[in-house]
Amino acid sequence: MRLMINVAPPPSCALRLLPLPSSFPANWPRSPSGAAGMDSNSTGSFFNLAQSFSVSDVIVIGAYFLLNVAVGIWSSCRVSRNTLNGYFLAGRDMAWWPIGASLFASSEGSGLFIGLAGTGAAGGIAVAGFEWNATYVLLALAWVFVPVYVTSGIVTMPEYLGRRFGGERIRMYLSALSLMLSVFTKISTDLYSGALFIQVCLGWNLYLSTVLMLVVTALYTIAGGLAAVIYTDTLQTFIMIIGAIILTITAFNKIGGYNNLEGIYLKAIPSQIIPNATCHLPRADAMHLFRDPVAGDLPWPGMTLGLTILATWYWCTDQVIVQRSLSAKNLSHAKGASILASYLKMLPMIFIILPGMISRALYPDSVGCVDPEVCKMVCGAEVGCSNIAFPKLVIELMPSGLRGLMIAVMMAALMSSLTSIFNSSSTLFTIDIWRKYRRRASEKELLLVGRIVTVILVIISVVWIPILQSANSGQLYVYIQSVTSYLAPPVTSIFVLAVFWRRTNEMGAFWGLMVGLVVGLTRMIIEFAYPPPRCGVYDPRPSVLRNVHYLHFAIILCLLTGVVVVVISLLTDPPTEEQVKNLTWWTLKPDKPDPEIPLQKVSTLQDHTDQRTDDDTAPEHHGKCSRGAGFCSPRENRPTTPPLCSIATTRETPFWSRFCCANAILLMCVNIFLYAYFA
């Protein structure tokens, strides 16, 4: 997961720069070097570090931008950008390695770099569970969900639910929910975190740095479609890994190796503390993945069951992720992509979380501050400064040139995430919303709409900047966590039941989603009304907030939704055989994919009538494409341009099928070993 990783609220230093006073309070304790309230090797102000940025760093960043644009142009020329199939699904001809790299890069936005390192600094390695848990849901995506999606011939996730249940209300609800989550959580998170890092390190104006990156990403996203996004994500992955390896090696050399990490981390106590409080002390279980099931900051039941529910939503039902897997040449390439992405998801533990812990150990007075006045002076936020852990380490330890490389790494993380969101959101709007009201829209019109939606998202992103500047930064991440925790579990429940239980019908699915939405929103409103108190302050929140962790609540909400769906589905008419054909795990026919998708699966009876009367000239079928799917027109049925609704086969070469299965087993063994070693 990428939105649920930050336990400690982030600072607002990227958005509200506050100059340090010329003198510190007289009652501040002095460090051995004599600097009041600051680390001995600090330059005196976190924000003054931007002045050390050199010409060589600028050259490295400029080279990165040029290389990124070159890759975007090259990849745009590889696939036809003037067809729906080429623009939204990269021609369904992508290999496993760029898809796997894109899956990794799409999830590793700048918010994750800042959030993982900050949470590692605040609480230790337990947050690695958010990354390692992805192994199992990524394998479920390739082995379970993708075969269902491929044989059903869908392009978007709301489209699948529309075909599975019939009608339009579930499809429209999920489309609207996905777009809102993209605009108000994913984009805002990445912009905030990217602005924090780049403004601090470069000293650039917030608007200048953000608009520059948005323009570059929008250019090749609009021009090249999914193919350009996937190939540039591959470049971003390479840059992120190289930069993170260099930073990690430098950080471990600074502390004398991994064996010294636990000892110096447990001693990272700030000089200015809050009396009669323990929030300044590093967690005693910092080096353990599994925490207390009740009192732990990340309790192990929530990190196993609750996190799996959220991860299933993100990796198996979110448009950003699934769209990449659907662009694969065949099912073996989709499986290989999931395996590669799973291996890459094991790296953030070493390259992001542990460096975050090292940053707190080296700079406890700034990264580990707890006193509101101190934190306000250090990073401009009263709630804590743990999220400056990663940029603090970069500025302090990296020499000229390599510092520019790390800036490029953060830009890569931000840009890869934004391009993925832009492309997938434009796909959602074009296929699920625009086509509902413009059923006879030509292919040229749909491509134009997809590009215009990307431009609109860029404009919204820019308009969102002043809102971020004035927002309480601590509440921003609480808001993001709340939205994902309280809205995602019902969607997970619906998709799992739709795929695995044939008896699930539209009535049960709809009311299950509505009940889940009401319960989730109720909890979210209560949480907004009672924000968590600062260190040393009495917690007046209701027991439902104090005693029920959001990961535990995700389990409750998912089960509640499932119960409602099951009960209502059993009390109402079951779906017909035609309605579940090739749309559930138990009704797949991988060797004989069904060429026809009945009209009643994608629209209401009225839509069915309108479609047949408005398009009498449409051909009966073209290869594997159904007129009822609503994507084909005579002009689109050219032999050289496969229609968007072309249904790929799930058949695999026996050798590559066994090879992928063997690698999946090896991957799970490695994952289990890591869990056992750090548990």
List, for residues 352-381, the tens digit of each pLDDT value: 999 999 999 999 988 888 888 888 787 766
Q: What is the pLDDT of residue 81?
A: 52
List, for residues 530-565, the tens digit of each pLDDT value: 877 776 677 788 887 888 888 899 999 999 999 999
Q: What is the pLDDT of residue 205?
A: 65
Per-residue confidence band for 592, with pLDDT thresholds at 50, 70 and 90: very low
Contact 542, 530 (CB under 8 A): yes
Q: Which of 651, 508, 503 shows the shortest CA–CA distance to 586?
A: 503
Q: Is 653 helix (H, G, I), strand (E, B) or coil?
A: coil
Q: What is the pLDDT of residue 255?
A: 92
Q: Can you tell me the mean pLDDT for 410-422?
A: 73
Q: What is the pLDDT of residue 567?
A: 97
Those residues with Cβ within 8 angstroms of residue 21's Cβ, 6 or more apart along the chain or in another chain: 377
The yes-or-no verdict on residue 23 having pLDDT over 90 is no
- Where would I find the beta strands (DSSP E) of 356-504? none
Whole-number percent of the chain with pLDDT over 70: 72
- Residue 383 CA to residue 617 CA, distance in Å, equals 64
Q: Which residues pair with 36 in a beta bridge?
A: 30
Q: Can you tell me the mean pLDDT for 162-174?
A: 88
- Residue 449 CA to residue 339 CA, distance in Å, equals 34
List, for residues 256-302, the tens digit of each pLDDT value: 999 999 999 999 888 888 777 777 788 888 898 888 888 778 889 98
Q: What is the pLDDT of residue 275?
A: 78
Could you tell me the domains of the chain?
47-579+652-678 (1.20.1730.10)
List, for residues 476-525, the tens digit of each pLDDT value: 444 566 678 888 999 999 999 999 999 999 999 999 999 999 999 898 88
Q: DSSP labels for 162-220?
A: HHHH-SSHHHHHHHHHHHHHIIIIIIHHHHHHHHHHHHHHH---HHHHHHHHHHHHHHH
The yes-or-no verdict on residue 314 having pLDDT over 80 is yes
Q: Say which range, 8-17, 61-70, 228-237, 264-273, has the weakest mean pLDDT.
A: 8-17
Query: Which string of b and e fits 107-121 if b means at least 16 CB within 10 Å?
Result: bbbbbbbbbbbbbbb
List, for residues 24-48, the tens digit of each pLDDT value: 333 333 333 333 334 544 434 444 4
Q: Compare 544 and 567 and report the one with higher pLDDT.
A: 567
Q: What is the rounded average pLDDT for all residues in the chain? A: 75
Q: What is the pLDDT of residue 158?
A: 87
Q: Compare 595 and 327 and report the one with higher pLDDT.
A: 327
Query: Which string of b and e fits 383-418 if b means at least 16 CB within 10 Å?
Result: bbbbbbbbbbbbbbbbeeebbbbbbbbbbbbbbbbb
- Where would I find the beta strands (DSSP E) of 363-492? none
